[in-house]
Amino acid sequence: MTIPTPALSAISDSTHDDKPIILAYSGGLDTSVAIGWIKKATGRDVVCVAVDVGQGGEDLEVIRQRALACGASAAYIADARDEFAEDYCMPALHANAMYQGAYPLVSALSRPVIVRHLVAAAREFGASTVAHGCTGKGNDQVRFEVGITSIAPELTCLSPVRDLALTRERAIEYAEEHKLPIETTKNNPFSIDQNVWGRAIETGFLEDPWNEPTKDIYAYTDDPSFPPVADEVTITFERGTPVAIDGEAVSPLQAIQIMNRRAGAQGIGRIDIIEDRLVGIKSREVYEAPGAIALLTAHRELERFTLEREQARFKPTIENRWTDLVYDGQWFSPLKTSLDAFIADTQFYVSGDIRLTLHGGRVTVTGRRSHTSLYDFNLATYDEGDSFDQSASRGFIEIVGLSTKLAARRDTAYDR
């Protein structure tokens, strides 16, 4: 099988030095085939970088060896699990990030941490080009390329799947022809991306929005229709970050992993939505993010308990913009950096315990306590000990309603 000549010349023209090319390597079909395609198109060595963000599944050493067997001159694994949890998932938790109110940015969050390691590899190996395996109609091409040039504007980007029109059928043909050590079956129609924050499943029969997801597509969650006995869990936060579960100290990574297991056992975190992609396409996406959904539920409740009223009313405006920026690949943008400062400030008093009941696909808050809460029992109670001066409400109501009272008087005069 040959690579189309026009595509070869286009890539050769844009990568005219002899420096190695860094490839974001997943170990899958497309990026495995891309190694040989890039080498033939450019005559340059390919260095593969696989970043561990808690995706589990296949052993990462096996993936590294596969990259070498497919023709990479070098390949290494970057263990970014703690980094991803602390520096990417926790800011998303602080921002209560849910794109279009439903999607907890599973894939979008992992791209900037991968970008950082790709740029580090480019500098280590003296590369001027970074390649990735994204298509031309998805969000990730933007996230990778904008992210790379945002922190390393001297680098150029290459996408074999997009720039060489590498279809799955052609990739399989190439892999079989060159006897690459990779599964080339057409039986699994799904595109799956996963990390510790969640799992994304798309394509195949899911592309018809009328088709119901089958049970076999899920891996992080059990069927919520047949749950085990209800699970009660208490999550302790300090300044918006989970630090203990049921009294046992945890790191951010451990908190996510534990809640993935416990909430996943109850079928929590299954999401099936029509999503607006950055490129203007509506796509049907299925996600499962049990730990993320449980932690987001607890964090949001603790904020209700601890944030001042106007601060709590304004923060969702910032959260929505922050979420859109991350979804759109703008993690390293000046605006996101500014919004980070606001969100970080709001977390100063977000400390305390939230008790949850996990059962049958649902997360229910059953208790909250905090030394920094703004809840005052003596003000809230209707029983003896009430310290609220109810007589002050009459004048308050007069002032609050004054403008609409004047407008109503005018409407009456003009018979509107």
Q: Is 264 annotated as a binding residue?
A: no
Q: Is 287 annotated as a binding residue?
A: yes
Q: Is 284 annotated as a binding residue?
A: no
* In contact, 264 and 291? CB cutoff 8 Å: yes
Q: Which of 30, 45, 52, 328 is catalytic?
A: 30
Q: Is 135 annotated as a binding residue?
A: yes
Q: Is 133 annotated as a binding residue?
A: yes
Q: Which of 64, 81, 107, 140 is catalytic?
A: 140
Write the CB contacts of 181 (distance below 8 Å, at least 6 apart in sequence): 66, 69, 70
Q: Is 374 annotated as a binding residue?
A: no
End-to-end, the C-alpha distance of the chain in Å comes to 77
Q: Is 26 annotated as a binding residue?
A: yes
* Angle at which helices 309-327 and 106-125 cross, to 10°: 60
Q: Is 24 annotated as a binding residue?
A: yes
Catalytic site includes residue 376: no
Catalytic site includes residue 284: no
Q: Is 240 annotated as a binding residue?
A: no
Catalytic site includes residue 111: yes
Catalytic site includes residue 191: yes
Report how far residue 416's alpha carbon sits from residue 411's, in angstroms, rounded to the nearest whole number: 5
Q: Is 383 annotated as a binding residue?
A: no
Q: Is 30 annotated as a binding residue?
A: yes
Q: Is 306 annotated as a binding residue?
A: no
Q: Which of 111, 116, 199, 262 is catalytic?
A: 111
Q: Which of 73, 150, 191, 251 is catalytic?
A: 191
Q: Is 25 annotated as a binding residue?
A: yes
**Annotated binding-site positions for L-aspartate:** 135, 139-140
- Known binding residues for L-citrulline are 103, 139, 143, 191, 275, 287
**Residues making up the binding site:** 24-32, 103, 133, 135, 139-140, 143, 191, 275, 287
The binding site for ATP comprises 24-32, 133
Catalytic machinery residues: 30, 111, 140, 191
